[in-house]
Amino acid sequence: MTLSIRALSLAAVLTLGSLSGAAFAQENPMVGGAAMPATNNIVENAVNSADHTTLVAAVQAAGLVETLSGEGPFTVFAPVNAAFEALPAGTVEGLLAPEAKDQLTAVLTYHVIAGDIHSGDLVKMINDNGGEYKAATVQGGELTFSLDGDMVKITDANGGMATVTIADVDQSNGVIHVIDAVLLPAM
C-alpha cells in the first residue's frame, strides 16, 4: 500500500511539474507567430519570428549572428518586415549586397544599445529627463526616446520615427523591443 501511495505522489508531482512547465511556455510572448522563450538568445528567437525574416537575413549578411548570440546584455529594437518594405525601393537589396556590408552593419548596430533596458526603465528615464531620453547605440550614434501617450517613440539621427509595438521580449542575453520602422544613423 505504501508503494502505491508513493507512486501516486510521484505521479502527482510529475503531473504538476509538467503543468507548470506548460504554464511557463504559455507565458512566453508571441512575436511573428512564434513563442519567444527567455531561455533563448536574441538570434535563436529572431529566426523563429515570421515578422523578422528580413532582419535575420540582414544580421546574417552583416556577420552579426555570433555577436548577437553572445553574452550581452543587449537591448535590440527589432524592425518588422513591413518596416524594411517601407524603405525606398532598392534600399534593402542595396544594403544586403556584399559591398555594402559596412553600411549594413552600421544600420543594424544602430538598433542596439548595450545593456538590458526594459520598457519600465525606459519610460522612467524619459520622464526623469523632461520627456526625452537620449541613448548611445553600439554603432556610435544616438537614439532619442519619447512618449506619445503610453507608446514609446524612437527618433533617429535623420528625424525618422519608430514606435515600440511589442515591448520587453526577454532573451537570455538581453531584451528585444519590436518596432514598426527602420532607424537610420547619420551617414
pLDDT, one tens digit per residue, over 115-137 is 999 999 999 999 999 999 999 99
Half-sphere exposure of 123 (CA within 13 A, CB side): 12
86-107 pLDDT per residue, tens: 999 999 999 999 999 999 999 9
Q: In this structure, is residue 187 part of a structural domain?
A: no
Q: In what order do the strands lie in the sheet with 142-148?
A: 112-114, 74-79, 174-179, 161-171, 151-155, 142-148, 132-136
**Tally of domains within the chain:** 1
Is the confidence at residue 9, as pLDDT, over 50?
no
* Cis amide leading into 73 (omega within 30): yes
Q: pTM for the complete prediction?
A: 0.84
Q: Is residue 184 part of a domain?
A: no
Residue 143's domain comprises 2-179
pLDDT at 28: 80
Provide the CATH number for the domain around residue 96: 2.30.180.10
2 falls in which pLDDT band (50, 70, 90)? very low
